[in-house]
Structure 1
Amino acid sequence: MPTLQDVAKHAGVSTATVSKVLSNTPYFTEETRQKVMEAVKALGYRPNLAARALSSGKTHIIAVVFPYIYDAIFKDPLVMHILEGIEAASTAKGYNILLSTPRLNTDGPEEAYMQLIQSGYIEGMIAIDNVPMASVGMVAEVQHIPVVSIGYHPAAYSVRSDDETGGKLAFEHVYSLGHRRIGIITVEHGINFAIAARLKGLYHAAQDYEISPADLPIAFGNFSTQSGAKAAEELLGNHPDLTALLCLNDRMAVGAIQYINQIGRSVPDDITVIGYDNIALSAVINPPLTTIDQHPGKLGEIAFDMLMDVLNGETPTSVVLPPDLIIRGSDAAPR
């Protein structure tokens, strides 16, 4: 097993330099940091976290907290992509991740998060989605634990996708293809700021083309494939002349495609279907799904890097990441 001394020798620096670089100590040049990290990767070095914690007073553990319960995390492909980004960035800096869900404590999610913050195990926290940030942020501030949020949170440091622009991109694309009879599959957005922003961007784009939101039929799902199929059935049953469906997440779009195929119609020959999120499934279904990519892996990486900046005494600015339209095979001009 490679040692700290092996890394130092491979990088051509002192063991003290290796130790400080792996502890994210500032004041080293990027060239030195790169030498050390390349040596770590080449040798497969794994730092002794217990020894580092004793010597530095740092645990090199960050918590990633969710509003979901237990295994629901692993059923959400978007969250998994975010986790992949956090994990990649944390591994490069020698940090471990502790996942936290409400099931940690039967008294409720907020109590579980409070206990985690007060435990002394973690150096910082990344909060995803609808975590109760007001209470968490207050206790974290008292405990001097920095918190970075991914999504629409009132935290001091946050990163999120520009969902309003994403909704606008989706509508502009189907409009440019010639579609005017457009239906929307969404979720009840009162409790989901991202969905509300996507719908807002979509409606603004429609109004730019002098189309009233009232003229865009809407049906509601719950993010699942099955609910997308049911929403498509409702929309096409009530509005059989629709030529395009804008779905505000990919899983509902997949369900819509399945329903359209089931009734003997074709995507995209008869109906265009657009998704949102660019999950892995969207590239392998038939036809491949045209969708909006909000770069969840990048969101995770940025959140971790932002947390490291705070731990190093810096004051990062919040980030709004622009989405991209990914054109595949589920869209075409209306016939």
Structure 2
Amino acid sequence: MGGDHGPSVTLPACRSFLDRHPDAELVLVGQAQALAPAEHWERCQLVHATEVVLMDDPVEIALRKKRDSSMRVAIQQVKRVDGVAAADACISAGNTGALMAVARYLLKTLDGIDRPAIASVMPNQFDGYTTMLDLGANVDCTAEHLLQFALMGSALVAAVDGKPQPTVGLLNIGEEAIKGNEIIKRAGELLRAAGQAGLINFHGNVEGNDIFKGTTDLVVCDGFVGNVALKTAEGLAAMLSNFIKQEFTRSPYAKLAALIAMPVLKHFKQRVDHRRYNGAALLGLRGLVFKSHGSADAYAFENALNRAYDASRNRLLDRVHERILATLQAREGSAGGSGEPREVVGSHQAA
């Protein structure tokens, strides 16, 4: 029901997803009238909700007043009761703040993790991608929060990409350790200490262009900076694509050149198309929740479904939690050996 377009986009995306994945099942949550076109779909269950969280609804409205919203009911599907959940992952294109708040309230976070973070990928020059977090869940962060993001992000990359020691960069206005505000400087100290203890593979400070250079596997920042960087990159990619289109349509000769260059242009467009990377994971929760762009079209929303489907098949939740637990236990042991007090994070337990 969420996003800028609602069921006019999400339902076609779901239909295409089911056609491409004959072993997958979907649980569609929303108002009865909106879900009516999917009533007779195979491998598809409809769960009705009477309310909808609007894109501009305050968080407290979603939490306290709209208790039968499609967003809340959908998140409840991945909550484990006696170790069993009705669904393996939840995907929403709705209000980001509300999604994070409701998911945190219903699913809870890992013990010792203060705030979940939104993690997604951005393309880099190696025809791969750089994982980045936080992308908008937490506007104001402490240095300790950024350290937790680094731990969770490292676990994500290790589990999904098979990199045991992914490199971590702290997004800053310069590479030098003396640059940045006090929170960034303190975060740099914590990340360097964690790197020296062997808890993460800390590269150091990175700048915005390093995201696309692929300097590190993971880039850590607060949600304000991350969301601005994400939207800037998407806007730049769209602008460059429009520039190229304009230049190749200026004259008959340019149009002829465009025909010759069409295979190259199509490949370029595909590489910079942000819709391919839609679907961000909310890390730190006791359940798999993915956020789609609110402006996503059917192609982009289907990619979010694909990302959640792959995460579920590859046991992302368990693997990330196991990696976080191992890392934080090592941190606890290191603190115990030095005699310095540190925050202790306990094990993951199913809700």
TM (norm. structure 2) is 0.27
TM (norm. structure 1) is 0.28
Higher relative contact order (CA 8 A, sep 6+): 2
